[in-house]
A and B are shown apart, each in its own frame.
Chain A
Amino acid sequence: MLEIDGLQVEPVIGLEIHVHLRTRTKMWCGCLLAYGAEPNTHVCPVCLGLPGALPVANAEAVALAIRMGIALNCRIAEFSKWDRKSYYYPDLPKNYQISQYDLPLCADGYLEFPFGDAIRKIRITRAHLEEDAGKNIHDIPGLTAVDLNRAGTPLLEIVTEPDLAGAEETREFALQLHRLVRYLGVSDANMQLGQMRFEPNINVRIHADGRVHATPIVEVKNLNSFRSVHGAIDYEIRRQVAAWREDGQVARPGNKANRGWDDNREVTVPQREKEEANDYRYFPDPDLVPVCPDAAQVAAWRLATPELPIPRTDRFISEYKLAPREAPALVDCKATADLLDAAGEFPCDKALLGKHFLSFWSRLANERETTIAGLGVPPRSFSELADLVRDKVINATAAAQIAEEIVARIDGQLGGTGRPGDSDCQRAIPPIDRPEWAPRELADQLGLVQSQDADEIAAWVAAAFEANQKAVGDALANPRKRKAARGFLLGAVMKLSGGKADPRLVGEQIDAELSRRAD
């Protein structure tokens, strides 16, 4: 419940989400999915709607839809069919869209996510498969240009119950869903490419005069950023309260309206309604036959459903001692999360392992515009490196150096190609495993094994004190500079040792020497 201008206001929001599925080819034909290609170059008789052409459903799209349905706790239909939805639009080649009307593949599910201190549970009404339309290009004066490359792209439409209670919550839900489709490999969900689009249905229940007044429902069309989802809902709530004050209009059948979002002005604007929007004349598509998902196959997919991002995040926080804010970075790229778990299978210090993933391994991946799973490092190398640090065979600086060396050697092997992009959260490359590239080997080869030898360390400390008289003086004489000066000396010793000295032992010796001199 919000308070707006002294009124108790309860927003009621349902969300429709359109997601492009991560198939190679279109929903009904073998054209490759295209983003940014020359117009009308990824088309064929089927997706152009030419006379005599017939659709055949893409099995992978059906599989992805069902796998998503399982992750959303949906009931998977035993019998599902295709229906035609009729409306005329130049970007819709057949002038009907093949969709699913009364028997969607997935129905009656929910998604739970943490929001504030609570767990929110949003019910999923349905998730069904359909095809995307092409694009009408409006920026050429005096005409509309039609590009049908996108026509027939497999689209999963997910519809929620009106369970969302605010702009922030809806944005969070949208983010969680975005995370989930990417994690499952159901969609690349690139917002810039329009691979995921949101359409919230918004109205508010105003509590006034001891009664509840529900404002007319507004559907905001085609939002393609989380910011616009938040902005549009936030704006609509205020606008609807103001409109109600003005005209007292309440929701009734037939007065639902569509609005668009003006990203520049950050307002919603009334939209010219599509003609005959209320009479789509749905009927079963006679060119296609029903889909009856095989129960054994669905059960297998159910079993194969991976640990989902939200529970996995919780586990990573406790198992790898990650900070709650940092954990999603390792979870959301599923291939990397799987790699972390694979590395964690070897007995090692998991907290150090997690720390390494977040620090130098991430940096090495970023430098190569790939993911950690795209580096090609064998799982055992991650844990071995963590163990070397834990056992003080090497220090943290040396660990980063060794990691860099491993990746550089793999670079040489790969010749700089074959790595997944940094937004590909599904693909890992096969690790390149050479005994001579094992961390312990490299620690020796690079001379990075930490020195535990007290005499050797004492010699470095003496040399450092000799060379840095001022710092020694500061440390002894000036209590305010003591800490900084000690740190400076420690760094000097480490430098002299070539990174090999055990910093803990060095610190002890520096302290001992300082107190000896102070006496």
Chain B
Amino acid sequence: MTTIDPQQVQRLAKLARLDLSDDERARYAGQLDTILRYVEQLAQVDTSDCDPLAHPLPLTDVLRGDVPAPGLDQQDALANAPARHQGFFKVPTVLDQTGGA
């Protein structure tokens, strides 16, 4: 049986980038634990003969042609940014310098 304790909540909060208070951690631990207890009933279903269904329709191969479409100009792109710097989005200094995907 899986349990969710405040420590687990802290691990999840870090993964999900949520800065939780101690109070929230304790509360979520209890609530998520209750929900998980409920969700665990899924284990009762025999699913050995069926594949996962990620999508309700059996769609495949919906692609677009390699055709340019107009985008946003710089001003519109940055219009909602909380902070900008000379055409860039501005964030605090990032230490890790590994760029790229």
The answer to the question of B69 belonging to the interface, with a C-beta cut-off of 8 Å to chain A, is yes
CB distance from A36 to the nearest CB of B (A): 14
Q: How far is the CA of A59 from the CA of B70 in the complex (A)?
A: 18
On whether A275 and B88 interact (CB within 8 A), knowing A38-B74, A284-B54, the answer reads: no
A255 at the interface (CB under 8 A from B): no
When distances are taken between beta carbons in the complex, the residues of chain B under 8 Å from A79 are 60
A132 in contact with B96 (CB, 8 Å)? no
Interchain CB contact (< 8 A) of B99 among A133, A145, A294: A133
Kindly supply a per-residue 1/0 record for chain A positions 17-32, scoring 1 wherever the CB is within 8 Å of any chain B CB and 0 otherwise.
0100001110001111
Instruction: Say if the beta carbon of A142 comes within 8 Å of chain B.
Output: yes
The answer on a CB contact under 8 Å between A32 and B61 is no
| Chain B hits for A97, CB < 8 A | 101
Residues of B within 8 A of A144 (CB): 90-94
Scan A315-348; emit 1 where CB is below 8 A from any B CB, else 0.
0000000000000000000000000000000000
Select from chain A the residue with minimum beta-carbon distance to B67: A30
Task: Find out whether the CB atom of B72 lies under 8 angstroms from the CB atom of A44.
Answer: yes
Contacting chain B: which of A108-116, A285-293, A457-465? A285-293
Interface SS, B side: loop
B82 at the A/B interface (Cβ < 8 Å)?
Answer: no
Cβ < 8 Å to B, chain A residues 1-59: 18, 23-25, 29-32, 38-45, 47-48, 56-59
| Known pairs A18-B100, A44-B72; A146 contacts B14 (CB<8 A) | no
B69–chain A nearest beta-carbon distance, Å: 3
| Interface range on chain A (Cβ under 8 Å from partner) | 35 or more
Residue of B nearest to A276 (CB): B15
- Residues on the A chain within 8 Å of B62, using CB: 56-57, 288-289
Query: A143-B91, A286-B54 known; A131 and B101 CB under 8 Å?
Result: yes
For chain A, residues 56 to 85, give those with C-beta under 8 angstroms from any C-beta of chain B: 56-62, 79, 81
Contact flag A58-B98 (CB < 8 Å), given A29-B69, A39-B87, A137-B88: no
Selected from A40, A276, A279, the residue in CB contact (under 8 A) with B78 is: A40
Q: How far is the CA of A155 from the CA of B61 in the complex (A)?
A: 19
Question: With A45-B72, A291-B63 in contact, do A197 and B89 touch (Cβ < 8 Å)?
Answer: no
Q: How many A-B residue pairs have CB under 8 A?
A: 163
A63 to B71, CA, bound (A): 24
Q: Which residue of B lies closest to A44 (CB)?
A: B71
- Residues in A neighbouring B73, C-beta threshold 8 A: 41
Question: Given A148-B89, A289-B60, A291-B60, does the pair A25, B15 have CB atoms closer than 8 Å?
Answer: no
Q: Distance in Å from the Cβ of A95 to the closest Cβ of chain B?
A: 8
- Does A252 interact with chain B (Cβ within 8 Å)? no
CA separation between A45 and B80, bound complex, in Å?
A: 12
CA distance A365 to B99 in the complex (A): 37
- What are the interface flags for B13-38 relative to A under an 8 Å C-beta threshold, 1 for contact and 0 otherwise? 01101000000000000000000000
Instruction: Pick the most buried of B63, B69, B78, B90: most chain A CB atoms within 10 A of its CB.
Output: B63
A140 at the interface (CB under 8 A from B): yes
- A222 and B98: CB pair below 8 A? yes
Q: Which residues of B contact A197 (CB under 8 A)?
A: 100
**A-B pairs with beta carbons under 8 Å apart, 6 shown:** A40-B87, A133-B101, A135-B99, A144-B92, A260-B97, A290-B60
Extra 18 A-B pairs, beta carbons < 8 Å, given A44-B70, A145-B86, A222-B98: A29-B69, A30-B67, A40-B78, A40-B88, A43-B71, A45-B72, A48-B72, A60-B65, A86-B15, A90-B91, A136-B99, A138-B93, A145-B90, A146-B88, A147-B89, A276-B15, A289-B62, A291-B63
